[in-house]
Amino acid sequence: MPFTVPLPRRPLDGGLAGWYENEFGWATVAGPPVQLVTGLRFDVLDLPAPAGRGVLRRLGPATGPVALLGRRMLVLVAAGSAEELPGLLDWLEWGGIALDLAVLGADGRMPAPLPPGWCGSGTPGGAVWLRAPAPGREVESSLPALRSAPWGGADAPSLVRLVAAAAAECHRLRLLSARTGGPAAQQLSPQRFASS
């Protein structure tokens, strides 16, 4: 029986960064781990994974690409959304309420998840896509955005609906955790984001 040598695998660092740059035009920072630069083509809404699961149940596919990083869920939103979040939370009457909700905008970084179907596990504990962006399709116009924003497409999901659902789910998780003495109860004073 002849001995066969498997084809070489793409190196994760150069290959992964190249994949995001070539398929989507997204800026990357070399790793390990390779990181995606936020604030240029997209921003990221960062919330606890249990709250994120509630948001996904509420909104279904109207969220766009979503990644999981440990206990955090990362939801891609239209570029510029990071600047809108404090005012949006105030408008939705969540201002002044400590929420475990953060946003990555200009000059932020997100660990690059392995694309679907790639071999290997990437960085241990690294990000994975729950809903991956589709290569060959323009991603930015499908990201949640304010309807009046120039970067959101006509069919883009509503950033207002996404933020309202995320704030409600983060608050619900915090109340449940406080009642049961869970990890969020121990984090009631520090907060990842609070509007002023």
Q: With H, G, I as helix, E, B as strand and everything else as coil, classify residue 140.
A: helix
pLDDT digits (tens, 9 = 90+) for 155-165: 567 899 999 99
- Residue 145 domain-assigned (yes or no): yes
- The angle subtended at Cα 42 by Cα 36 and Cα 47, nearest 5°, is 80
Please report whether residue 6 resides in a domain.
Answer: no
Q: What residues does 45 pair with on adjacent strands?
A: 75, 103
For residue 48, the model assigns a pLDDT of 96
The pTM of the full predicted model, rounded to 2 decimals, is 0.79
The confidence score (pLDDT) of residue 180 equals 74
Does 5 fall in a domain?
A: no
Let me know if residue 72 belongs to a domain: yes
pLDDT attached to residue 182? 59
Helical H segments across 93-194, by residue range:
159-180, 183-186
* pLDDT at res. 3: 55
Q: What does DSSP say about strands 72-78 and 109-111: parallel, antiparallel, or unpaired?
A: unpaired
Residue 76 is given by DSSP the state: E
CB 39 within 8 A of CB 95: no
Mean pLDDT of successive 10-residue segments in the chain (196 residues)? 49 73 92 91 96 92 88 95 93 90 94 83 76 83 71 66 94 85 47 39
State the DSSP code for 31. Answer: S
Domains in the chain, number? 1
Query: Does the residue 86 lie in any domain?
Result: yes
- β-partners of residue 104 are 44
Beta-strand ranges (E) seen in the chain are 28-29, 35-37, 42-48, 66-69, 72-78, 102-104, 109-111, 128-131
Q: How far apart are CA 146 and CA 124, in angstroms?
A: 35
Instruction: Output the pLDDT for position 178.
Output: 79
What are the CA-CA distances from residue 128 to residues 60, 88, 164 (Å)?
19, 28, 25
Q: For residue 152, what pLDDT is reported? A: 47
- In a 3-state reduction of DSSP, which class is residue 194? coil
> Is residue 7, in this structure, part of any structural domain at all?
no
Residue-level pLDDT at 154: 53
Domain assignment of residue 83, given as a range = 12-186
Contact 23, 99 (CB under 8 A): no
